[in-house]
Structure 1
Amino acid sequence: MHIAFDARFINDDYHGIGRYAYHLLEAMTRLFPQQRFTLVYNPALRNTRFPLGELAQRANVALQSTRAPLYLPPEQVALPWLMWRLQADVWHTPFLSVPLAAPCPVVSTIHDLIFFYHPEFVSRRGFLWYYTGSARLSVWRSARLIAVSQATAEEIASLFPRAASRVAVIPEGAAPRFRPRTLSSEQAGALRARYHLPERFILSVGARRPSKNLGRLVRAFARLAHQTPHHLVLAGPADPHFEDEAMQAVQECGLQERVHFPGFIAEEDLPLLYNLADVFAFPSLAEGFGLPPLEAMASGTAVLVSCIPALQEVSGGAVPCVDPLSEDDLTTALRKLLLDAAYRADVARRGLERARALSWENAARKTMQVYLSLEA
């Protein structure tokens, strides 16, 4: 089978989508050497995070460049022509960008439908119309749909009942580099120096936007900051389309010396950062899956998540969850994790065990089953 994969999303602007696409491709191309893969990428889209060239060294992988932009009309001409020229048996898009005139079956991954259920998390009305329209077209045009969680599958079935039979639930995984490590004093010191990190800290990773609920996390931390030596580290860029609620909360609470914003974390440093943290907090208001908490669990870090369906599904009940709208709940849960070392170690152990059940190898095998079902 010849699988053409839209690898244009593996770029520096699509953090979670790019990570999903790359790790899925790495596992599939490694596990299925008898299948042929063409990775379609746009060299104009900057990618400093994931080495597509390394995948292309495999005998069953080829790279195909295209100038087709994401989400603009020219892709609706360029991509179908490219599929026809490649004689692809299936086209897989890892997000909402489906070629309507595709000459072969299309598989689309739906990560979440947050823009339907939480329009307040979309920065502009035009974006909202575009995302909801793209999702409708993806569902209508795709032969099969992959939902990264049962929670997302249920959202698809609720909004598009006729599509329910075309949905396969395939959870994401944690890459092998996310594992418990004992950092040398030199490694820890270098990482702290590079990102200006404190000695002990709570970590959260993700773009600073309202759905991540970081303003509440800061205010919850403010309530217990006097009880612990820990600082709070919020890694990831601020989303320029929204007000920076986390920064506002820091200023309101006078926590400029206790809350740190190291910005973007290099891929090779992320596993080390998880290992350096005592607690990972992810109080998100809406998610389709939740890769950061899974990667933190796989790294052996004690994790705290919000009690929303996708995160409860990912964590499998192994780690504590809180009402994301309650600062009281968040403060209480953080306090217990920070002040009770035995409890924190037990949470880390249970999270690590849960993380082992979710792997990119499993995701790759199930995704290949979806592809092969289109041959039948």
Structure 2
Amino acid sequence: MNILFYYRNKNAGYSIGAVFDTIVTELKKVHQVKCSYLPSPYADIQSIFKNGWFARKEERNDYINHITGDVHYLLWFLKGRRTIVTVHDIMYYHYLKGLKKKLWKLLYIVPLKKAAYVTFISEFAYRQVKAVIELDPKRVRVIPNPVDNSFKYSPKEFNLQKPIILHIGTLARKNLLRTIEALKGINCHLRIIGELDAKALEALKRNKIEYSNSFHLSHEDIIREYRNADIINFPSLFEGFGMPIIEGQATGRIVITSHISPMKEVAGKGAVIVDPYSVEDIRNAYLAVIQNKDLRENMLHEGLKNVENYRADKITGQYANLYKELYENID
């Protein structure tokens, strides 16, 4: 089979690209794969048309198209019957109002109806779209993100005296401020990945939190951060999936995450689940993990079991089956 992957411009963010690089690496072992990066990282009308015409010129009659996410509007330019699109989330839509909201729906949600198949990285992402438009269930698949093969089990003795708590991401939804409050008085080191704003810096000082901070890390640097950590902190307020959950589990670290979809489903039984809006609940989770060896061992065991559901070869196999299905049904 021949598959052409459309990626958004790398300057628009590389998280989606990283996910599909894992899949592409596996597919290349047995299939002909081409990757095409869009020329513009922007989302104004001129850039949308620029990217759309570029995608149309790249299209090949002997290839299946796969839009890897975010740039759903490419469906207006491509042959829908030969195109699969992956939806990560449509959270931005819910923040918009008036004409902007209508236009975003026309560009990013309505074109999903044109696709031969729409894949969602979680049931949560699928429910988001179903609440806005109706899709034929026969053309919908839920295929989760894979964990990169470079995230491997790395044994580490838990630091009881001063555990390292790794917090990835500093956007408001990553819940760093409640994390800082919850850690007040707990002897630990908070390792924060992402640029800190004035509010976070003030909260760290006020709550007397020992911390360190880095950003713009390479993939290899991120892997080292997971290996150095004792606890992976991910009490996010909303996500389309939640990669740090399975990356932490794959590394063999204790994960704390939110009792919110899709994070609780992604985590399975392999994480300590908290109410992300409750500082007390988050704090109690830290204390339970630090004080309870049996809990740590159980979370480690269940996490390693759970991550097997997200191995690259397994997820790639689900996509390969879908490509085969599309090939067999193209007019």
Using the size of structure 1 for normalisation, the TM-score is 0.76
1:202-351 equivalences in 2 (<5 Å): 202-206=165-169, 208-222=170-184, 224-225=185-186, 228=187, 230-237=188-195, 245-255=199-209, 258-351=210-303
Residue 214 of structure 1: how far off its partner (Å): 1.2
Q: Please state if 1:39 is matched with 2:35.
A: yes
Is the CA contact (8 Å cut-off) linking 2:6 and 2:55 kept in structure 1?
Answer: no
Cα separation, 2, equivalents of 1:166 and 1:244: 46
| Distance of aligned partners of 1:175 and 1:127 in 2 relative to their CA distance in 1, 3 Å threshold | farther
Identity, in percent, stands at 21
Q: Verify the 8 A CA contact 1:8 1:41 in the aligned structure 2.
A: yes
Aligned twin of 1:62: none
AA partner of residue 21 (structure 2): Y
Change (3 A) 1:81 1:211: same
Q: Does 1:363 align with 2:315?
A: yes
Tell me what 1:174 maps to.
Answer: 147
Q: Deviations over 1:268-326 (max 9, x none)?
A: 12222212111111000111111111100010001110011111111112211111111
Letter in 2 for 1:236: G
Rounded to whole Å, the distance in 1 between the matches of 2:85 and 2:58 is 18
Change (3 A) 1:245 1:144: farther
Equivalent residue, structure 1, for 2:20: 21
How far apart are residue 112 of structure 1 and its match? 1.4
After superposition, the C-alpha distances for 1:79-103 in whole angstroms (9 at most, x for unaligned) are 11221xx334321111132321213
Q: Quick one: structure 1 residues 78 and 69, their matched pair in 2 at CA, closer, same or farther if it must change by over 3 Å?
A: farther
Deviation by residue 1:28-83 (Cα, 9 ceiling, x = unmatched): 222xx2x32111135xxxxxxxxxxxxxxxxxxxxxxxx45554121222211221
The amino acid of 2:70's aligned partner reads: L
CA distance in 2, matches of 1:12, 1:101: 22
Question: Do the aligned residues in 1 keep the contact of 2:121 with 2:143 (CA within 8 Å)?
Answer: yes
How much has 1:244 moved relative to structure 2? 6.0
* Compared CA separation, residues 24 and 13, structure 1 to 2 (3 A): same
| CA RMSD of superposed structures (Å) | 2.6
5 Å-filtered alignment, 1:10-159, equals 11=10, 13-30=12-29, 33=30, 35-41=31-37, 67=39, 71=43, 72=47, 73-83=49-59, 86-97=60-71, 98-99=73-74, 100-103=76-79, 105-117=82-94, 119=95, 131-159=104-132
Give the Cα separation in 2 of the matches to 1:234 and 1:363.
30
1:246-278 Cα distance to aligned partner (Å, 9 max, x none): 3342244343xx122111322112222212111
Contact kept? 1:280, 1:303, Cα under 8 Å: yes
What is the identity, as a one-letter code, of the residue corresponding to 2:64? V
Deviation at residue 115 of structure 1 after TM alignment: 2.1
Amino acid paired to 2:116: A
Q: CA deviation at 1:178?
A: 0.9
Report the Cα offset of residue 340 of structure 1: 2.6
User: Is the alpha carbon distance of 1:157 and 1:338 closer, same or farther for their aligned partners in structure 2, counting shifts above 3 Å?
Assistant: same
Gaps of 5+ in 1: 43-66, 184-197
Classify the secondary structure of the residue corresponding to 2:212. strand
State the TM-score, normalizing by the size of structure 2: 0.86
- Displacement, 1:137? 3.8
**Residue of 306, 309, 314 corresponding to 1:354:** 306
- For 1:287 and 1:37, locate their aligned partners in 2 and report how far apart those are by CA, in whole Å: 29
Q: Note if contact 1:285-1:306 (Cα within 8 Å) is conserved in structure 2.
A: yes
CA contact 2:88–2:125 (8 Å) conserved in 1: yes
Distance in 2 separating the partners of 1:130 and 1:221? 43
Over 3 Å counting, the alpha-carbon distance change for 1:68 and 1:232 in structure 2 is: closer
Structure 2 SS opposite 1:234: strand
Unmatched 5+ residue regions in structure 2? none
Structure-2 change in CA distance of 1:28 and 1:128 (3 Å)? farther
Q: What one-letter code is carried by the residue in structure 1 that aligns with 2:262? A: A
The alpha-carbon distance between structure 1 residues 128 and 325, as it changes in their structure 2 partners (threshold 3 A), is farther
How far apart, CA to CA, are the structure 2 residues paired with 1:26 and 1:18?
Answer: 12
**Structure 1 residue 165, shift from structure 2 partner:** 3.5
Q: Go from structure 1 to structure 2 and tell me whether the alpha carbon gap of 1:69 and 1:221 turns closer, same or farther (over 3 Å shift).
A: closer
Task: Please report how far the alpha carbon of residue 203 of structure 1 lies from its aligned counterpart in structure 2 after TM superposition.
Answer: 0.5
Whole-angstrom CA distance in 1 between matches of 2:115 and 2:198: 36
Counterpart amino acid of 1:161?
E
Q: d(CA) in 2 for partners of 1:161 and 1:324? A: 31
Cα contact 2:155–2:252 (8 A) shared by 1: no
